[in-house]
Structure 1
Amino acid sequence: MSQTQTTFPRWIPLLGGLLGSTACGLLLYAFSVFIRPLMAQFGWTVPQVAMAYSIICLVFGLMTFPAGRLSDKYGPRNVVLIGGIIMAFGFYMVSTIKPPDPAVIAAGGEAAKAAGRSQLWLLYLYYGVIAGFGGGCVYLPPIATAPKWWPDRRALATGFTVVGLGLGSFIMAPMATGLINHYGSALPVFRIVGIAMLIIVVIAALCLKVPPAGYKPAGWNPPAPAGGATAKATRDFTYEESKATPQFWLLWVAYFCGSFAGLMCIGLIAKHGIDAMSLKYIADKGLATIKNIPPADAKAIAMAAAVAPSTLGIFNAAVHIMVGPLIDKIGS
C-alpha cells in the first residue's frame, strides 16, 4: 500500500472529537441535576424521571452500531452534523413541554399525578428517543476517525476524543444548576443548552475528515510486524469481521458492565446529594420536611450537590488523557 501525507492538520479531527464528546457530555453526564427540578415542576416521581435517562442510554448505545456504518459510507462529517442537529433539537424541545398548573401540583393527590403523567411521554420522546438517537450518531464517528490520523498515538487520540464526556459534565452540572436557580425552572436550561449544543456539534462536524488512503504522519513509519517478515501485518477489521471475533464480544461485555455501573451512578448522583444534604439540613434546623427549607438555602444545597457530577466528570476526563499514553507505550 502506498503511504501518503497531507497538508490537513491532523489535530483538527481531534478537536472535532473533543467538541463532539463535550456535546454528548452536556447531554448525558449532568442529567442528575435536572431530576429534582423536573419533579417539583411536573409532579413526577424519581422513577418516572429516571426512566428518561434509561431510555436515552439505551437509544444512544443502540445507535452507535449503525452510526459507525453510516460514517464509513457517508463520512463522519455528515453523520455528526445530521446527528448533532437531531440531538440539539430533541434537547431543546424539552423546554417546550408545558408544565401543569402549579396550584394543581402543590395540592398533590391523584389530580397532580394525572396532570404530570399527561406530559411525561414528551420527556421520553424528546430527551430519551430523539436526543438519544442524535447523540449516538455524534459520539462514535470521531472515535473511529481520530486513530486514522494518529496511527503513531492511537490510544492517546482515542482518549482525547472522548475526554469531552467528562469535560461536558464538569461544565454542565454547575452551569445548569446556576441557571435553574436563576430561572426557578429547568425548562429554560434545556432551551439554552440545546442552542449551545447545536453550535458545538456544527463546529465539531466541520473539523472531521477522513485521511487519504495510505496516510502516515511525516517522519513516522509503521513498526515491523512482531515475528519478522512472515508475521501478519496489522489491519483494520470491518464491522462484519469484527463481530465474528471473540475479542469483539469480550469488549462489548466489558463496556456493558462498566457502563451499567458508571451510568447508574452518573444518572442520580446530584439527586442523591441534594437528598442527603437536605435531610441533614432539616435535622439540624428542626424542620418538619424538605419543603420547609428556605428557597435560598435550597438553592445553595443544589449548587453544592452539583459539585459531585462536576468532580466525577473532571476525573473522568483526566483518566482518559493519562491512560492513552500508557496504552500506546505498554499496550492494553
Structure 2
Amino acid sequence: MAETDGCYGFLCFLGGCTALYFLLSWSWGCWKGFKSYLLSKIWQTDVRKFGQWAVVTGATAGIGLAYALELARRGLDVVLISRSGEKLRSVAKKIESQYGRQTRVIQADFSEGDSIYPAIAQQLKGLEIGVLVNNVGMTYAGKLVHFLDVPDPEQTITKVINCNILSVTQMSRLILPHMVERGKGLIINMSSETASQPQPLITVYSATKIFVTYFSRCLHAEYRSRGITVQCVSPFVVSTNMTYNIPVNPLVVSAASFARDALNTVGYSSFTSGCLTHALQHIALSIIFPAWLRLSPFCLRRMEKLAQNIKPLIEERVAQNYRKED
C-alpha cells in the first residue's frame, strides 16, 4: 500500500512539473509575442543610432521597397540596390521628395553570381552604413513543381541560389566589418515561412530560405557581443509581385504594413515573423500542418492536385504582371 501511494505521489509530482513547464513556456511565449508585436508599436528602436545610411537590396518593389521607404521615413539615408536603373531612379526621387533623405542607387542583378560584388563594394566605400536589409530573393515564377520540373533548371536553380543565398552572405561580408569597427549595426535578412518546415514542390526556394534562417541566427550569436544585431524576418504571404499582388485580407498583409511592423520588432526579437498576423499563422500551421504531414505521400498528392488546379490562375497573374511592367 505504501509503495502504491509512493508511486502515485511521484506521478502527481511528475504531472505537476510537466504542467508547470508547459504553463511557463506558454507564458514566456505570450510575453515575447506581446513585446515584439504590441509593445513595439509604442516604444520603437531608433534606427538612426546604428548609422547614417541604410542599404536595401531588391529595393524597387514589394517588401524591399517598403523597407526603403520606411527607413527613410524614420530618418535614414538609403542606398537602393536592384537590377532596374529606371525603377531605382524613380524610388530614389520619391524618397528624396517625400522624406528629404539622401539616396544612392546601385544597379546590380544578384542572380548573376559573385562578379557583381567588387563593383558594389566600390560604390559603398566611405559610407557610414548602419542598417543592411538583405531582402532580394526569387523563386521559380510561383509554380509548385518537382525538383526536376523546375523551368529551365540549369539557369533557374543557379539564379535562385545566387539571389537567395549568395547575396545574403556576400552583402553581409562587405558591410559587417565596418559595423564591427564602429561597434554598432543592424542586419536584417529576409527568410520565409516556407523555411519553418520542409516544403516539397518549392524545394529549392524552401531550402535556400532555411539557409538564410540558420545563417542569420548563427551570425547574431557570433556578433551580438560586438554591438551588432542580426535579425531574421520570416514572413508568410505579403501582397507583392512575387505573390502576384494577391489582395490584402485578414491573412495577407500589404508590404508597407509588413515593413512598418517588422521594423518595430528590431530590438525586441532577433527572429520574427514580422507581424502579429503572420506569427499567429506560424503557430497554427506548426500545430495543424507539421513536417511529417507535409512530407507524407498523401499530402504530396494533394499538393500536386492543387498545383494543377491553380496553374491557370498563376499563368493569368503572370501575364497580368508582365502587362503592368510593359
Q: TM-score over 0.5 for the alignment?
A: no
> Which of structures 1 and 2 has the larger relative contact order (alpha carbons within 8 angstroms, sep 6+)?
1
Q: TM-score, normalised by structure 2?
A: 0.30
